[in-house]
Structure 1
Amino acid sequence: MSTESKPGALVIIGGAEDRDGDCIVLREFVRAAGGVNARIAVMTAATSLPKEVGEDYIRVFERLGAASVDAIHTEHRDDSEREASIRIVEEATGIFFTGGDQSRIVDFIRGTSLDKVIHKRHQQGTVIGGTSAGAAMMPDEMIVGGASVANPSVDAVSMGPGMGFLPGIVIDQHFAQRGRLGRLLAALVLQPAVLGLGIDEDTGIIVNGDEFEVVGQGSVTVVDETTATHNNLEGLLKDEPIALCGVKLHILPHGYRFNLKTHQPLV
């Protein structure tokens, strides 16, 4: 009988999730992290208001019934070496990254002792969640910024290293609300990722193994670039429009699932 642990779920939220009403998306994060037995670490690295944002999520997660909630503030890279923070993560069943600027998460945490223990705990079964910037940082290569455009171009998006929880995928957040399809398409052409996920506000995906399920009020747009038959990237100047042919698109609302290995929606 195998005693190998299974990586924990990923709960990836498109931002602006409900924190005062039914909290459908955050409720599923707490449930995945152990429900009333959940021990949650709130990572505030992305925000410039760590105390206020941390207290807000502590309030929500405690209201939903988590057994314990602690905020970990990393306003400088040295903060990610603190023993107290590492101990909180070691005991956490759920680790949640708030919104803000995803570059701050990478700058302050990636490659530190705190990063190593977060990845170790995830491999041991701890759930990793994140909203907005905390969603964008999930892949190995993340969207750092760019314009909300309908038509993709080379300068529509800027990319950088992410935190590597969901490799081979590109994630964009606030998707329908900020018209980011062009930005996501540009990111897929410029990076070796094979799938792009555009997640609407107050909407999330729960990733377990090779599948994810959509939860929340909006939809998730899945862009499958593996079916593409042509692009004009070679020789293109940065402000010129990208041509992209043969890409497959899926729009998935609450309750729909998708297989990340077969690239097929599960209806």
Structure 2
Amino acid sequence: MKSERGALALVGSGEYLPQMQEIESDLLQRAISKGKSNTYIQIPTGAGLESADRIEFWKERGAAQAKRIETQCRFLPILKREDAFNEEYISEISNAGLIYFSGGDPGYITEVFNQTPLWEKIKSEFNSGTSLAGCSAGAMAFGSKIVGIRKSHVQSGLGLISNIEVIPHYDKFLGWVPDRIASIALRSDEGAYLLGIDEDTALVLTDTWQVQGRAKVHVLKGLENSPHTYISGEEIGLVQAFA
């Protein structure tokens, strides 16, 4: 029997851009096939400490993508913790087809959402068929730990998938921070999968985990053949642990 849980996408970069249109459209259609509405929810919390112009940038970029994939777009300005207790926002995500966390600061996403009614509602919708995506900081925040590229310390994440830790923009960072990557691997949880996800690339969970997009996903730790690189279209045998 297949799970009623929605699709999950961990994205290295490129949210709302034309090159990610096919992936985002498929996430939405999978949810619609499970009875969810043709609704695309944008959550810009990762940029919550940035300027109003930057928030508007994400809003406009998401609206353009929604138009391309012919869906109703809802932009929820959840920029501080009190917003995650807002009953109107909680109601807005009911029966959504796709809920998308865009990039920015992964630690701030956790600070805003952890142990809030809105996060519990998002998990409930995901468990009943809504697709859920996180790009860059959004993907990082879904794990139990956030392993920073530029910072040496480890932060707590939201723990949606407790045994997966994500390094986004991996192909961009790999060339100039190989020592940092090795350091991150040492600081990663012993039983966790450490994943490097390239730009404009997603690792998508439906019945299995599959690489989608223009580039690659790198399993740096956690499988017998780690480190190993997977190209678009290949499946990866991760055994995820949902909270």
| TM-score, structure 2 as length reference | 0.84
Higher fraction of strand: 1
* Alignment check: 8 A CA contact 1:19 1:26 kept: no
Q: Distance in 2 between matches of 1:20 and 1:127?
A: 19
Counterpart Cα distance in 2 of 1:168 and 1:21: 29
Paired residue secondary structure (2:171): coil
1:17 deviates by 5.0
For residues 251 and 21 of structure 1, do their structure 2 counterparts lie closer, same or farther at Cα, with a shift above 3 Å needed? closer
Instruction: Rate the CA distance shift 1:31–1:158 in 2: closer, same or farther, 3 A.
Output: farther
- Alpha-carbon distance in 2 for matches of 1:137, 1:52: 21
The 3-state SS of whatever aligns with 2:27 is: helix
2:238 corresponding residue in structure 1: 260
Q: What per-residue deviation string (whole Å, max 9, x for no partner) do you get for residues 44-78 of structure 1? A: 10112223202211220222122x21011112111
- Tell me, what secondary structure is at the counterpart of 2:194? strand
Cα deviation 1:92-135 (Å, max 9, x = unaligned): 12110011111221111111111111111111121110111111
Q: Quick one: which of 44, 52, 55 aligns to 2:57? A: 52
Label 1:224 to 1:124 Cα distance change in 2 as closer, same or farther (>3 A).
Answer: same
Tell whether 2:64 aligns with 1:62: no
Q: Matches of residues 163-242 of structure 1 in structure 2 within 5 Å? A: 163-179=158-174, 182-192=179-189, 193-209=191-207, 211-225=208-222, 227=224
Count of aligned positions:
230
- In the TM superposition, what is the alpha-carbon distance from 1:208 to its structure 2 partner? 2.3
Change (3 A) 1:18 1:114: closer
Per the TM alignment, residue 226 of structure 1 is displaced from its structure 2 partner at its CA by 5.8
RMSD: 2.6
Q: Given the superposition, is the C-alpha separation of residues 163 and 182 from structure 1 closer, same or farther in structure 2, using an over 3 Å criterion?
A: farther
Once the 2 structures are TM-superposed, how far is the Cα of residue 215 of structure 1 from its aligned partner? 0.8
SS in 1 for 2:125: helix
Bigger proportion of residues as helix: 2
Match of 2:149 in 1: 146
| Deviations 1:196-247 (CA, angstroms, capped at 9, x unpaired) | 11000000011125x21111111100123465xxxxxxxxxxxxxxxxxxx7
Which protein has the larger Cα radius of gyration, Structure 1 or Structure 2? 1
TM-score by length of 1: 0.77
Counterparts of residues 80-99 of structure 1 (less than 5 Å): 80-99=84-103
Kindly indicate whether the alpha-carbon contact (under 8 Å) linking 1:54 and 1:71 is maintained by their aligned counterparts in 2: yes
Q: Does the residue aligned with 2:93 lie in a helix, a strand or coil?
A: helix
Distance 1:55 1:132 in 2: 19
Identity %: 22
5+ residue gaps, structure 2:
none
Cα gap change, 1:54 to 1:17, in 2 (>3 Å): closer
- The residue aligned with 2:23 is 25
Change (3 A) 1:22 1:170: closer
CA contact (8 A) 1:188 1:195 kept: no
SS in 2 for 1:178: helix
Task: Look up the SS of the partner of 2:153 in the other structure.
Answer: strand
3-state SS in 2 of match to 1:118: helix
How many angstroms apart in 2 are the aligned matches of 1:58 and 1:164? 29
CA offset digits 1:119-178 (Å, max 9, x no partner): 1111112111011111111211122x333xxxxxxxx63211112222211110000111
